[in-house]
Amino acid sequence: MSNSHAVAVQEHQDHHAGHHEPGFIGKYVFSKDHKIIGIQFLMTTLLMLLVGGALALGVRFQLAWPWRAMPLIHTLTGGLFGSEGGQISPEFYTMLFTMHASVMIFLVIIPILAGAFGNFLIPLMIGADDMAFPTLNMLSYWFMWPAIFCFGLSFTIGGLNAAPANGWTSYPVLSAVVDASPSAGAPQTWWLIGLTFVGVSSMMGSVNYMTTIINMRAPGMTLFRMPLTIWSMFITAILQAFALPVLTAAGFMLVAERTLGFKFFVPGNLVINDGAPTIGGGQPLLWQHLFWFYSHPAVYIMLLPAMGMVSDMLACKVRKPIFGYKPMVYSMAAIAGLGFIVWGHHMFTSGMNPALGMTFMISTMMIALPSAVKVFNWIGTIWGGKISFDTVTLNCVAFISMFIVGGLSGIWMASVPTDIYFHDTYYIVAHFHYVLFGATLFGCFGAIPFWYPKMFGRKMNDTLGKLHFLLTFIGFNGTFFPMHMLGIAGFPRRYADPYIHPYMEHLLPMNRFMTLCAILMGLAQLILIYNFVSSWFIGERASRNPWNANGLEWTAPSPPGHGNFDIAPICYRGPYEYSSPLNPSDDFLMQTDQIVAR
Amino acid sequence: MRSYSHALLVVAVLMAGGCQSQRAPEFVLNSQTKALVPAAQDAVRNELQSAFGTPTKLTVWESLPVDFGKFEGKVTSVSDGRAFVKLAVASPNAAARRLPEMKGAAVKIKGADSGLVVASYNAETGALGTTGSDAAVLTADADVSVIGDGLQFGRDLYLRHCMHCHGVSGDGDGPTAKYFAVRPRDYRKGTFKFTSTKPTIRPSRDDIKRIIKLGVPGTYMPSFMLLPDDEVIAIGEYVRWLAMRGELENKLDVELGNDYSPDAAKDRQLKEVKQEIESKLSGKVTEFGTELTEDWNNAEDEGNVVTPVTARVPSDADSIERGRKLFISDKVKCFSCHGETGRGNGVSTEDFNDIPGGKPGEKSKVAGLFDIWGNVVKPRDLTTGIYRGGRRPVDIYRRIAAGIKGTPMQAFGGSLKDEEIWDITNYVFSLPYQNKPAAKHH
Amino acid sequence: MFWPIVAIVVLAISPAMGWWFPTEAFSPLGKQIDNLFYMILIIVGITFIGTHIGLGYVLWKGVDNKAPKAWFSHGSHNLEMLWSIAPAGILMFISLYQLDVWTKYRVQSKFPKDMITVAEVTARQFEWRIRYPAPGKKLQPTPQPDDLYTVNDLHVPVNQRILIRLRSGDVQHSFFVPGLRIKQDAVPGTIIPVWFETLAEGDYDLTCAELCGWGHYKMRGRVLAQRESEYHAYLKQLAADQAYDGHGDARTGGADVVKVEKATDKK
Amino acid sequence: MRIETTLIGVLGLSLVGCGSETLNSIDPGGGASTATVVSLRKESSTTGNDTNAEKTGAEVAIQGGGDPASVLGRIVLDGTAPQLPALFSKGGAKADPTVCAKDAAIPDESLVLGGGGEIANVFIYLDKAPAGAPTVEPKDNSLLDQVACVFKPHALFVQTGKPFVLKNSDPVPHNVQTTPQKNAAENNNMNPGSTMELKFKKPEKQPFESKCAIHAWMKFYTLVLDHPYAAVTDTTGKFEIPNLPAGEHQLRIWHERAGMISQKVKIAGGKPTDLGDIKIPVAKMGFK
């Protein structure tokens, strides 16, 4: 009797979910469930994070002990990668930093924000039971793998010891003429194809996000009741939708130039590697314009979602409404808009029309404005809050602090005359690592423990989290803050052995210090991985709303079943009603709570 | 807690292990040696080892004409195992700057090898620390000479600036080299292309220094113009040393080649072969050493430098016209390789030639002329104004008069008068600047 | 928030530690650029310290907040206006303040009139090939039979506004002289004029600042600023060496070695 | 805390492992990663004279003396070789058709056979003059001529010390690029009608190839020795090396296609030793 009743309930729930249980493959591999897909993205990107980090350590090692036998390189690659007598070859160094950048940008930061958290959070936060196009969503994940495959292939193709060696920007002529760089032939081409796959993947994602956010919001979830995370995802999606085609087109042009002999970027009469003089009237700057027209907005693609998530976490952690919700939204929109008209500041020294230089400088200066507003708003949010210091809070605060540094150092870049000096020195490296690693990754390191309970129904270990944060923070600043000094000292990027230039010899000890810090930081990530995996099994079980947060996602069971919500949510107010006087009993007021009249 | 601290320990061990498992650079045998029977290979390897050592444990063969670097001096005083030595060096700074290289340099006492090596030297106080108990052998006012720091200095610089193209053994096959259309020089034949010396003579020190400083325009050999002179010289000496090492290897191969190729010695006992080789080679290395010394000393002899007898003929229209006539004449036949208009597209670049050292009757797949290293060489396109061996009149003169060693570019010194060579030189210099008629078909 | 203090301390000591500009700027524009740098440094420094003090303060207050509930506030419009407009003003000021440096630096119509074109610098993998006009002649756009060639070693007369024509022989390079605060990409297919003035004799390191292949780091050159007389003497010496036919006097190239004269450093 | 200490340990290890003794100077390559040492080469007392080399090995072991005698034989091909096509038919030369192959085709001389398969241009020689052999004044070297863009003869034996004269009888220039193993390589241009004189210092171990860079097909082979015990076969394939001392000798037989063949030969005192037909299998000739 009771059994049959239970069965009945079971069936009823299944029916409510509108599906019947798919098999293992359908559920965990080619799943169309946005949560699974999000987690798949998360796993993949964390894996890639380790890969990229290892490559970075290789770069750091060469800078600290130039031409010293690189640890593990022989054990791991069996003496491949053109090393003789244990010492690596300069072209291998160029491959190292090229692939580091490619992996970190295209396989870690973009997918971890839009892919992992975007997928997982959007439907939950807007109270939808899944994405608008589940199949498209699944594809957007599985298109990552061709990209990873192509990048990997680019490493191993061409005699097992050539990878793209033209920097992640792969400026022509170097990248367009096959003989110009060690990545002769295939690797660079494969890299470009991989890039296209990444583009396709994020394009699918962005279309999906836009549709979902516009059409599938829960009743009562007006645009200005959406959490900032959703806003940031929405804006990011728009950015991607508009910027990506340009990169894809440029990529195809470069592939055509390399393989089919088109002449878009290579001018005539260049003699490269004792070859015949090149023919044709291409223009190298064309690539730079096209590339940066995507890649500058991409910087914000890599940043905005983190901003959104940090806003949400911060509000919850300080038990306070966001200070100036609408200004936050507007500033994000402003950043996105301006982001399209500042790409030229990557080209101040490239010899483009100086008038352009001025306009781009002004627009670039202006884009600092919304960023400033956001910073002030965050500080205002913390102002007068009741803060519980755990991993999440620490990471969010680190995010703000690092973002301040990265943003401020950007002002030198924005002002053309100083950029003339700082362009392509380590100052740039410091700047974008502070923004991309310092801001974005700290944001993610906060977001992972914050939404972990919702993903796996368990909490992550807070002690380990704090330890991981501490080591990462110290290692990070130890590694990247000195880079400002290097940049001021005129230390150019992408030098395998800068110390053959007399004016840089004295910077070696500093580089040794930075490398040690980098090693520390690299090892610290193992803690994160361990914590992530172990908490899955031994973590403390989490309730539906472990942080007493307001968002819709916290009304769903953790982890949410298929179809997310067992009770269809209705939204009554904005997401940041913490410590609202309307709820005397508790210091939070969920978006779904009706006010109890009394 | 435990589990991952263990994991970290594993990582630590891995890293440390990785650092310890650094491969030291090693010299490799050349292809002829590899073609010999194992016993012969071992013999060659051992001889080379004893004569030149390894990159990390260099051996100074004092009779070779190489500046190994030598500080001489006297022991002034000995106190608690430290010998205080006044070394006769240019300036204490020089010694100080060279200290990293002086570490490990060999120490001779009273002209005899003490087997000690320098552990430390303080240029100010003159305190010389050596490995082992130096107080025992370093008695007061004994003559001391420290040998080999120059070679180590050159070795370090070579490993830093040159190795990744030219290879540890100077075989022109470093890791980076495989991307080059123009292969880096393989020193081991003792043949260098752009020299100031007569066709049969080795390059002089100055030639090597000049190439290091100016680079080879049009190739990936960059200019090291701004390296301090002493560093350039040290690199040059190391290169010469590597060349001599390679030559010795070749000589040994020739010595053994007839009898110890696999099919010549296939039905022989390993043991008898071993003894035979030993007896065959006994004293040979010393003999070859004297040959090397003679050859490389000849290169420094002023008499072996190619110097024109007459001064350059003024480069006027007549001279250029005469030069042009010679260039396309059947007497000199420059055009057969360089083409009628000097674009380097002469008919002989269309031949399919035998690969040097290839099988009998085997033709190469690509058309073109070969150098003795087995690489296709393009006759220079003289209209580009890029001259690999230098752009001074005397350089072009030398290319014409003495040819380019190891390439089909032959020496015209015997068959042309100086004036004629100068005329051709003037014509060659004029080529980049005149408007060029299209090349007729031959 | 101990770390901003660390940062500030590092910043403070770094000039003493040699983690600062390799040398003071030895060109007029360079000096202006430095001033600009320091001006921005001050503005940025204040902002940095201010924001971090603010951040630290609110955190500290927030941690030991005895109140039963956090302060319920959705923000203040006036504050928003304040901290939107103030930064806007500052940023606008910075960007306008520096326009003239930029124009002087790059806009050709604003270039000084009294400049001499010293040489054509062709960047190639991986060296700087330099073409001077013959002594007493003007540099022609196309190579001339009597041009003088050298590599990696650009001599210029000191205290003069000079122009070089920057080309690339193969891929993109960048002409970077830290001591003079000059950087200009050498874009294949275009010839870009670069002008500068050196204020002191001596040599200034010249490096490549745009990835140009595996040997990127090998492109070590120098700009040697000499007194006019020395400069002309050098050109003569170069001409003599270039004309050497095995008969001239041995010093000018007869010894078959390249002489790189030590810089007489008056910096 | 445990973890932190472990991490410090890791750092320490990595520092020690990778950064040891290197913090003061940039050290290039693995060379500096291990302590480097210089040692002096012990000069062996034995000087260049290789008496011991002569005593041992296959050179000579005088047994039951006797007057010197000559060794003779015939080199024949074992099997049938394909007919080699001419390099250029009459008048079909690529370069200088007015001179080269003007009257006759230019044959491929890499394998020249007599009617009965006898091989020409085969070198038969001893490495060294056998001990106890009478020292004979070396006779003048035969002259090498260049006629109609062919080197004549194709293979010749030259003695050290004596001048080796090359002649260019053609109205076009030639050049001779030698590739010896022990002597210095030459590459000299020769005017029409001119002669050139080379002198070789050292004996070679093998015949070496010389070619003309202007007419890439022109080749000839030279064997340089410091003693007269050598012979070159003609199309009869016959050879004879006179007055070898009695005893055992190592005969070298070399052909440009077949390469090196070594054969022991015993000279009993007095009468000449006939080796009969020495067969070279066609397989060694490197035809496809």
Q: Is residue A293 left, alpha or beta, with left meaning phi > 0 and alpha meaning psi from -120 to 50?
A: alpha
Is B370 in a helix, a strand, or coil?
A: strand
List own/partner pairs for A184-187 with CB under 8 A and 24 or more apart.
Answer: A184/A158, A184/B179, A185/A158, A186/A154, A186/A157, A186/A158, A186/A162, A187/A154, A187/A155, A187/A157, A187/A158, A187/A162, A187/A163
Mean pLDDT, rounded, for A368-383: 93
- Would you mind telling me the total number of residues written for chain A in this entry? 598
| Chain B residues touching D18 at Cβ < 8 A | 15, 19
Place A379 in a pLDDT band, splitting at 50, 70 and 90: very high
Beta strands per DSSP E along chain D: 37-40, 69-78, 123-125, 144-147, 150-152, 155-159, 164-168, 174-178, 187-190, 195-198, 208-211, 219-225, 230-232, 238-244, 247-255, 259-267, 273-281
Between residues D1 and A134, which one has the greater pLDDT?
Answer: A134
Tell me the C-alpha distance between C130 and B226, whole Å.
14
pLDDT in tens, C61-99: 888 888 888 888 888 889 999 989 999 999 999 988 888
Q: Cα(A14)–Cα(A123) distance, rounded to whole angstroms?
A: 19
Q: Can you tell me whether residue B116 is helix, strand or coil?
A: strand
User: Residue C260: its pLDDT value, please?
Assistant: 56
The answer to whether the CB atoms of A71 and D33 lie below 8 A apart is: no
Residue B306 buriedness (CB in 10 A; 0-12 / 13-18 / 19+): buried
Q: How many domains does chain D have?
A: 1
In percent, how much of chain B has pLDDT > 70? 86
Whether residue D87 is contained in a domain is answered as yes
Interface test with B, best of D11, D33, D34, D36 (most B CBs within 10 A): D36
Q: Is B176 on the interface with A (CB under 8 A)?
A: yes
Average pLDDT in chain B: 83
CB within 8 Å of D60: residues ≥ 6 apart? D54, D130, D131, D132, D245, D247, D248, D249
Res A224: pLDDT: 93
| D72: in domain | yes
User: Is D169 a domain residue?
Assistant: yes
Q: Are A341 and A309 in contact (CB under 8 A)?
A: no
pLDDT exceeds 60 at position D16 = no
Q: Please give, rounded to a whole number of angstroms, the shortest distance from the CA of C91 to a CA of chain A.
A: 6
Q: Nearest-CA distance from A469 to chain C in Å?
A: 14
Of B22, B26, B174, the CB nearest to A69: B22
Q: What is each CA distance from B108 to B143, B359, D39, in whole angstroms?
A: 8, 50, 10
**Least CB-CB distance to D17: which of B20, B157, B201?**
B20
Residue D81 burial (CB count, 10 A): 14
The whole-number average pLDDT for the span C249-258 is: 47
B210 touches chain C (CB under 8 A): yes
Under DSSP, the state recorded for B347 is: G
- Does D48 reside within a domain? no
Cα(A4)–Cα(D7) distance, integer angstroms: 57
For C177, how many CA atoms within 13 A lie in the half-sphere containing its CB? 25
Average pLDDT of every residue of chain A: 88
- In angstroms, the CA B101 to CA C61 distance is 60
Distance CA B54, CA B169 (A): 10
Q: Contact, D113 vs D77, CB < 8 A?
A: yes
Query: What integer is the mean pLDDT of A284-304?
Result: 93
**Domain contains D49:** no
Encode pLDDT of D140-154 as tens digits.
Answer: 888 899 998 899 899
- Structure-block tokens of residue B290: 């004297």
**pLDDT mean over B131-135:** 60
- Region of poorest pLDDT, from A36-40, A299-303, A465-469, B127-131: B127-131
Say how many Å lie between the first and final Cα of chain B, rounded.
84
Residue with tokens 């991607």: A240
Q: Does pLDDT of C212 surpass 60?
A: yes
Contact D30 A69 (CB under 8 A): yes
In chain C, the residue whose alpha carbon lies closest to the alpha carbon of A378 is: C55
Question: Which of chain A's residues have a Cβ under 8 Å away from the Cβ of B242?
Answer: none
For D240, phi and psi rounded to 5 degrees?
Answer: -150, 130
Q: pLDDT tens digits, residue range A211-265? A: 999 999 999 999 999 999 999 999 999 999 999 999 999 999 999 998 888 889 9
pLDDT given at position D39:
84
Among B206, B223, B225, the residue with its CB nearest the CB of C255 is: B206
Cite the DSSP H helix spans in chain D.
2-19, 29-33, 51-55
Q: Is residue D29 scored above 50 in pLDDT?
A: no
Q: How confident is the model at residue D47 (pLDDT cuts 50, 70, 90)?
A: very low
Regarding pTM above 0.80, the answer is yes
Domain boundaries, chain C: 2-62+76-106, 112-254
How far apart, in whole angstroms, are the C-alpha atoms of residue A305 and residue A116?
11
What does the pLDDT read at residue A8?
Answer: 41
The predicted structure's pLDDT at residue B20: 46
**B426/C245 Cα distance (integer angstroms):** 12
The most confident of the ranges B64-73, B292-301, C247-256 is: B292-301
Rg, C-alpha atoms of chain D: 28
| Domain formed by C112-254, architecture | Sandwich (2.60)
Residue B410, φ and ψ in degrees, nearest 5:
-95, 170
Q: How far is the C-alpha of D106 from the C-alpha of D151, rounded, in Å?
A: 11
- The reported pLDDT for the residue numbered D12 is 47
- Are the Cβ atoms of B217 and C129 closer than 8 angstroms? yes
With a CB-CB cutoff of 8 Å, which residues 45-104 of chain B face chain D? 50-51, 53, 55-63, 68, 100, 103-104
Chain D residues with beta carbon closer than 8 angstroms to that of A61: 18
pLDDT at A14: 45
Pick from C76, C106, C251: nearest CA to C185: C106
> pLDDT tens digits, residue range C159-180?
999 999 999 999 999 999 999 9
| Tens of pLDDT, residues B372-405 | 998 889 999 999 989 998 889 999 999 999 999 9
Length in residues, chain B: 442
In angstroms, what separates the C-alpha of C247 from chain A's closest C-alpha? 33
| pLDDT of the residue at C14 | 80
* First-to-final CA distance of chain D: 75
CA separation for the pair C35, C41 (Å, rounded): 10
CA A45 from centre of chain: 9
With an 8 Å Cβ cutoff, is A87 touching chain C?
no
Span B297-325, average pLDDT: 91
What average pLDDT does this structure show over C100-125?
Answer: 89
Q: Is A354 on the interface with C (CB under 8 A)?
A: yes
**Six token digits for residue B298:** 């000849």
pLDDT at D208 over 60: yes
**Out of B92-101, B189-198, B357-366, B376-385, which region has the weakest mean confidence (pLDDT)?**
B92-101
Weakest-pLDDT range from B134-143, D203-212, D257-266:
B134-143
Which among C117, C100, C97 is positioned nearest to C196, based on CA atoms?
Answer: C117
Query: Domains along chain B?
Result: 70-147 (2.40.30), 155-304 (no CATH), 317-433 (1.10.760.10)
| Residue whose tokens read 């490398």 | A515
**A215 vs A209: CA distance, rounded Å:** 10
pLDDT digits 0-9 by tens, B23-45: 677 898 998 899 999 999 999 99
Q: Which of A481-490, D64-73, D174-183 has the lowest mean pLDDT?
A: D64-73
Residues A543 and A555: their CA atoms lie apart, in Å, by 10
* % chain A with pLDDT above 90: 66
Q: What is the DSSP letter of A447?
A: H
- Residue A230: name the closest of A216, A247, A251 by CA: A216
What span, in angstroms and rounded, lies between the C-alpha atoms of A521 and A470?
Answer: 10
| B60: pLDDT strictly greater than 50 | yes
- Radius of gyration of chain B measured on its C-alpha atoms: 27
Asked, for residue D6, whether it belongs to a domain, the answer is no
| Domains, chain A, ordered by start | 31-555 (1.20.210.10)
CATH assignment at residue D59: 2.60.40.420
Identity of the residue in C44, C174, C188 whose CB atom sits nearest the CB atom of A408: C44
Least confident residue range of A312-321, A574-583, B62-71, B134-143: B134-143
Rounded to an integer, what distance in angstroms lies between the CA atom of residue A507 and that of residue D104?
75
D97/B contact by beta carbon, under 8 A: no
User: CA-CA distance, C44 to C39, in Å (whole number)?
Assistant: 9
Specify the pLDDT at position A72: 66
Collapse the DSSP code of D238 into the 3-class scheme (helix H, G, I; strand E, B; otherwise coil) and give the result.
strand
Query: Does residue A486 surpass a pLDDT of 70?
Result: yes
| Structure-block tokens of residue D274 | 């006939």
Query: C117-150: buried (b, 16+ CB within 10 Å) or exposed (e) per residue?
Result: bbbbbbbbbbbbbbbbbbeeeebeeeebeebbbb
The mean pLDDT of A547-558, rounded to a whole number, is 91
Percentage of chain A modeled with pLDDT above 70: 91
Instruction: Tell me how far apart the alpha carbons of residues A461 and A468 are, in angstroms, rounded to a whole number.
Output: 11
Split at pLDDT 50, 70, 90, the class of C251 is very low
Q: What is the pLDDT of residue A428?
A: 95
According to the model, what pLDDT value does residue C65 have? 83
User: How far apart (Å, rounded) are the C-alpha atoms in residues A404 and A438?
Assistant: 10
Percent of chain B's residues with pLDDT above 90: 40
What 3-state DSSP class applies to B260?
helix
Neighbour count for residue B90 (Cβ, 10 Å): 9
pLDDT attached to residue A161: 56
pLDDT in tens, A2-56: 444 444 444 444 444 445 566 777 777 788 899 999 999 999 999 999 989 988 9
List the single range of A86-90, B47-51, B52-56, D170-174 with lowest mean pLDDT: A86-90
Rounded to whole angstroms, the maximal C-alpha distance in chain A is: 89
The whole domain housing D139 covers 55-285
Residue D239's identity, in one-letter code, is F
